[in-house]
Amino acid sequence: MAYFSPFDVQARPNRLLTQALSCLLFVICIGLYMQTSINRHKENPEDRVTPNAAQLANGIHASVFEPAEEDDYIPADDASKWERFKHSMIVKDTVSSGRRFLISLALLIPAVVLALHIGLFPWFGAGFLRFVLFFDKIVALSLLPILFIVFGIDEWSKIALIVIGVAPTMILDVTQMVKAVPQEQIVKAFTLDANNFDVAYRVVFRQVLPQVINSLRLNLKPMMLFLFAGEMIAASDGLAYRIAIMRRHMGMDVILPYVLWVAFLLFAIDLSLRVLNRRMHPWFQA
């Protein structure tokens, strides 16, 4: 029986058993939810806290094929499914959240370049590193009121929140990576008659880029977190805004699909970055 002991470090469970076990928690969660849902629906057939399959299907249908607000463009009744999908609630929310996300992603590029300089050029390090270290300790959300005052409550305050929240960590991380590039590489590049920018961009940056992308993958979650915080506090569209609105009238049939949709989006971004990284840097091993 020792063979099946869960506390045996040297245990060798077979493939089938491993797969089955990894599914177990998913099955338990779905089962518990269904059980709760059924019980609650027995008491109250209109229960909205744990929507059953039909309610969920309705919610998904509503978010995928129906517009968000009354004053939004409403496709004609005989419009095709694609036409209706294009003007649906979930597309509108995803586009506006995605736009904020992508803009802040683009704004992280200068941060990475700055980090490269901080890590490599002693003068940049002297000028910036301590300030970034200090700035990194400021809780970004505590700056939110200031951001609202400075940028107004529209798009830029949310984008600024994401960038201010993630950039300092990212800069410190990339700085460490740059410093970890072996000195031999830099010296070697100089003996090959490289100038300072050759060394920075064609030797060091190329080498740390896969690590930078990995660091970005880890930072996707914080970015999403800041985006959601911003949207939940002040927005008129966006994924988090919808979730917050739906909470007011217990719209769990929409909230649950939205939560899973956000998780899926994040997973997809992460996966594509990972694949991109592997394709672009076949030499990188880690």
The residue ranges that bind another protein (CB under 8 A) are 182-185, 187-195, 197-198, 201-203, 206-207, 281-285
Place of tokens 């979730």: 243
Specify the DSSP element, H or E, that contains 110. helix 89-120
CB closer to another protein out of 198 and 270 = 198
| Shortest distance in whole angstroms from residue 109 CB to another protein | 18
| Shortest distance in whole angstroms from residue 281 CB to another protein | 7
| Shortest distance in whole angstroms from residue 284 CB to another protein | 8
CB closer to another protein out of 260 and 276 = 276
Q: Is-contact 240 171, C-beta < 8 A?
A: no
Collect all residues with Cβ–Cβ distance below 8 Å to 125 and sequence separation of at least 6. 118, 119, 175
Give me the amino acid identity at 111: A
CB closer to another protein out of 58 and 185 = 185
CB closer to another protein out of 48 and 281 = 281
Say how far apart CA 162 and CA 133 lie, in whole Å: 18
CB closer to another protein out of 210 and 251 = 210
Say how far apart CA 153 and CA 104 lie, in whole Å: 16
Q: Is-contact 96 238, C-beta < 8 A?
A: yes
Q: How far is CA 7 from CA 3, 11, 12, 23, in A?
A: 10, 8, 12, 20
Q: What is the CA radius of gyration of the chain?
A: 24
| Shortest distance in whole angstroms from residue 194 CB to another protein | 5
CB closer to another protein out of 161 and 203 = 203
| Shortest distance in whole angstroms from residue 190 CB to another protein | 4
Q: Is-contact 108 120, C-beta < 8 A?
A: no
CB closer to another protein out of 5 and 183 = 183
CB closer to another protein out of 14 and 285 = 285
Write phi, then psi, for 44 (nearest 5 degrees): -140, 105
CA 157 to chain centre: 18
Q: How far is CA 200 from CA 75, 87, 187, 196, in A?
A: 53, 46, 12, 6
Nearest CA-CA partner of 239 in 35, 41, 79, 92 = 92
| Shortest distance in whole angstroms from residue 285 CB to another protein | 6
